[in-house]
Amino acid sequence: MNFDDALMPPDPFAGDPNDPASFLEPEDDEPDGPVTDEERVLLREDLENVRHFRALLEPRGVRGISMLCEDCDELHYYDWPIIIANISTILNGETVPVHEPGAAPDPDFYVSWEYCAGYADAVDWMKEGRRGTTPRWF
Ligand SMILES: [Zn+2]
């Protein structure tokens, strides 16, 4: 990636057809069943991303991801292990229960997928900027 004339970190979804995440937008028109090879690739990507997000954010106290449910138009809160289990379940061609209310989750401990993606991107960006340069404090 080229950050030369970018004052802001680039849009993490730029050129990404998987926006924001394939498992967040189930194809309502299609019956549940075996996932296609294409879906499988996207799901594996999601799984990789979620693991990455978790590694970055769990140590900071973030318990999981909040997602707007299209059915009830409310935010649902998913803990990291549940998200990972859900994606794995879809990969196995099984149906995931969409409404999975936790025991009164505290919204303060959950962030959106977009937040995770931006955070991960910023971390990458900072690493990129430092590569090959001597830190100022040395
Ligand atoms: Zn719902």
What integer pLDDT is reported at residue 104 of this predicted model? Answer: 76
Predicted confidence at residue 138, as pLDDT, reads 44
Distance 134 CA to ligand 1 centre (A): 49
> Ligand 1 (ion): which residues have CB within 5 A?
69, 71-72, 99
pLDDT for the residue 15: 59
What is the rounded CA–CA span in Å between residue 92 and residue 44?
A: 11
From the CA of 137, how far away is ligand 1's center (Å)? 49
Per-residue pLDDT of the chain (138 residues; tens, 9 = 90+): 555 555 555 665 565 555 556 565 555 555 556 789 999 999 999 999 999 999 999 999 999 999 988 888 888 899 999 999 999 998 988 887 766 555 678 999 999 999 999 999 999 888 876 555 555 554
Nearest to 96 by CA among 69, 73, 75: 69
Instruction: Name the phi and psi angles at 92, rounded to 5.
Output: -85, 5
**pLDDT at res. 7:** 58
Predicted pLDDT at 112: 97
Written as one letter, the residue type at 100 is E
Residue 77 has which token pair? 């809160």
- The span from the CA of 116 to the CA of 96, in Å, is 22
